[in-house]
A and B are shown apart, each in its own frame.
Chain A
Amino acid sequence: MTQHEGGPAPSRRALLGWGGAGLALGAAAAGGAAAVARTNDDPNSTASSAVEFHGAHQAGIATPVQDRLHFAAFDVTTEDRGEFAAMLKEWTAAARRMTAGKPVGDGAFGGLAEAPPDDTGEALGLRPSRLTLTIGFGPSLFGKFGLAGKRPEALVDLPRFPGDNLDKSRTGGDLCVQACSDDPQVAVHAIRNLARIGFGKAAIRWSQLGFGKTSSTTPGAQTPRNLMGFKDGTRNIAGTETDRLKKFVWAAAADGGANSAWMSGGSYLVARRIRMNIETWDRASLQEQEDVFGRDKGVGAPVGKSKEHDAPFLKAMKPDAHVRLAHPESNDGATILRRGYSFTDGTDGLGRLDAGLFFLAYQRDVRKGFLPLQRRLSASDALNEYIQHVGSAVFAIPPGVRDKDDWWGRTLLTEEG
């Protein structure tokens, strides 16, 4: 990692093929390389490159999905709006540097011997690893700083769904930062340094580490498997599908009601920690497992079809099959962009693997995306026997940071709306 000033090298830009709107047009190639990132030590590989921080949309949504996640939800502890804005500016500056593969502030060494270094140092020498940092604002934030008039209607409080067993210490938050990277140390470093800058202004409420992306935003890339061993989310929106992104993911000025002009170009995120009953699942027969999903376990083809990407014939599946219930056709076209990760947090004290899916869904309007989908799934999904939703949060994801003078939250905190 170099410490000189300046943006990402033009060659990296070209490699990623960024369009003016900040979409990854050359995503297929980038995604293909990412699949082998863990074993690829070639410093010229795309896995080592930086993802552009600036753009109309925040990186980390439609940009190619990286291998690792550190997601953190924060409570805002300051009551001073100016101080909150100053922290967001400081966060933006740090995020701008870290996503470019540079250390925070004056770096991790070489400064005053008596002072702790600005950067914690564990990412020194590591490549940018396609780090993306994506910020979001939770419903509870709009009760603070006189922001009530800016809460978008599309940012709904999620109802309690049947079967939910939500743990308060893994639920909610005024702010979130999603750090995705091909190197877990780079993602952890990013959250750690933001948390440090935030002390006294924002405190981590909960966080989640994730590995093994369970969905892909790059067409052509193999759909990764979840911890149940199945390919899920084959029909996910790709970063190249400009029309579907516009229709289902990017918020428009008037979407969320009169209060949401500031959200134009943003999105809404639902995060759910879904615990899997791994041991009982593993004892289920192959037939049952395949019936539950509505796919075969080998190639991932929908029931009655032979290839993973074959269009599913929903009526051939059991009425409570997961794919059938989650499919847009069963939900008046409701479509979300999934960006989930598997997680394993050791064992739970009863000898059971504390593992599952950290589900991340982006959508243009929560009322038209996650809400109808989850209503249907929580009511009748066959998978419910093997999973439990234990954490939940929803966030408004503001538009991208335009340039070096812009900052996270500017449209929320400064513009009329």
Chain B
Amino acid sequence: MGAIACAATALSISGCTQKDKGGDNAIQVTAADTTCDTSAKSVSAGQVTLKIENKGSKATEVEIVFPDDRIVSEKENIGPGTKYTLTAEVKAGSYEIACRPGMKGHGVRRKLEVSGGSTAKRDPRLDKAVAAYRQYAQDQADETVPRAETFAEAIKSGDLEAAKKAYAPSRVGWERTEPVAESFGDIDPKTDTRADGLEAGQKWTGWHRLEKALWQDKKIGSDEKTLADQLVTDLKDWQRRVGKAEITPTSMANGAKELLDEVATGKVTGEEDRYSHTDLVDFNGNVEGAQKAYELLKPAASKNDPALAKELDKQFAALDALLDKYRTTKGATDFVSYDKVTKGQRKELSDAVNALAEPLSKLAAAVVK
């Protein structure tokens, strides 16, 4: 059976798929520092093979990505002058091949149409929103790692004050995109667990363990130095995996609501950063992340439910204005210590969070209507 006949018949026939390998569905990808040449713009569904050659001067990464930028398959760290063969199972639909010289940024993109079998219907407007949100999540992870390294370095050099100063900023990117980080399941328990969240036999690692050492125990020992390195390692794992996270328009909308839930249950009570009292920094990060997701979904949401969009605009603005009262520097992400925030003020913050979270819980439905 020839390759052409094979493409026209059901691709579930295994013999076919085998023969396809390296045949019809092989694409030559020639990557360089500013170019990404591909030998074909369309293939049939099934196993797709990329024969990659890096002719550039720096290491590159080549990916097949969905229209919403989720990675189907990827190969990182293809050195200059080296070759690699990447094989992936690809269903019918529109994709892109991305070459990312230096393994950073949006990369150089080439279209790839995959045909055969059924094609899922996609809303390009929502694909765009998801792609932009994935980029945002990636940017947050990329910015977090060096900040976490600064935090870790301060701990390793035994500088208590520098470590305290670096603690809250190292969490901002994480707090903004927490639902994405949490979706991996195994990273969050290592990085962001509080003492009361530990399961029997679980070793306490991550930010809050270090927070306790810095603010409550007021000392840095060899354990803390090891844990600081571990935190950086775990955060790099997160950074690497953001691209493959399952993000959909509804998960974005629900993620925004979940961020407000985080505020309502952990931050507004002062439980999250009970030693450092930097809760408002996290609070603000959660709100900013929720707002980003909302802004990206707004074109779709405001068409389906204009009243909801109007209400959300209003409540985001109201919460921002309330948070402004607690910023130590205007427009900055420094906030007053949460132990200085009175019971009455906490009630006011809680009311504002409820006022926003209630309409935000209706965003997912408005997006998919």
Contact = CB atoms under 8 A, between A and B. Distances in A.
Contacts of B359: 200
B365 A112 contact: yes
B320 to A, nearest CB: 15
A200 B356 contact: yes
B354 A115 contact: no
B364 A114 contact: yes
A196 B359 CA distance: 10
9 contacts: A75-B351, A112-B369, A114-B250, A115-B361, A169-B343, A196-B358, A199-B355, A200-B315, A200-B359
B311 interface: yes
A196 B50 CA distance: 54
B333 to A, nearest CB: 25
B40 to A, nearest CB: 38
A200 B357 CA distance: 9
B179 to A, nearest CB: 16
Interface string B243-265: 00000001001000000000000
B365 A203 contact: no
B358 A200 contact: yes
Contacts of B311: 200
Place the interface of chain B in its size category.
20 to 34
Given A115-B364, A199-B354, 20 more contacts: A75-B351, A77-B351, A77-B355, A114-B250, A114-B253, A114-B364, A114-B365, A115-B361, A115-B362, A115-B365, A116-B361, A116-B362, A196-B358, A200-B354, A200-B356, A200-B359, A201-B355, A203-B351, A203-B354, A203-B355
Interface in A59-90: 75, 77
Contacts of A200: 311, 315, 354-356, 358-359
Contacts of A203: 347, 351, 354-355
Contacts of B351: 75, 77, 203
Interface in A158-177: 169
Contacts of B361: 115-116
Interface residues of A, number: 12
B198 interface: no
A112 B367 CA distance: 12
Interface in A99-142: 112, 114-116
A373 B201 CA distance: 63
Contacts of A114: 250, 253, 364-365, 367-368
A344 B351 CA distance: 26
A196 B358 CA distance: 7
Contacts of B250: 114
Interface string A199-217: 1110100000000000000
Contacts of A169: 343
A112 B363 CA distance: 12
Chain A CB within 10 Å, residue with most, of B315, B356, B358: B358
A203 B356 CA distance: 12
Nearest to A168: B344
Contacts of B367: 114
A169 B348 CA distance: 13
A199 B364 contact: no
Contacts of B365: 112, 114-115
A199 B351 CA distance: 7
Chain A CB within 10 Å, residue with most, of B356, B365, B367, B369: B365
Nearest to B311: A200
B256 to A, nearest CB: 13
Interface in B318-369: 343, 347, 351, 354-359, 361-362, 364-365, 367-369
Chain A CB within 10 Å, residue with most, of B253, B311, B355, B361: B355
Contacts of B357: 199
Contacts of B356: 200
Contacts of A201: 355
Contacts of A112: 365, 369
A58 B238 CA distance: 58
A201 B351 CA distance: 10
Contacts of B364: 114-115
Nearest to A112: B365
Contacts of B355: 77, 199-201, 203
A199 B318 CA distance: 13
B59 to A, nearest CB: 42
Contacts of A116: 361-362
Nearest to B365: A115
| Interface pairs A-B: 10 shortest CB-CB | A115-B365, A200-B355, A203-B351, A199-B358, A114-B364, A114-B365, A199-B354, A112-B365, A116-B361, A199-B355
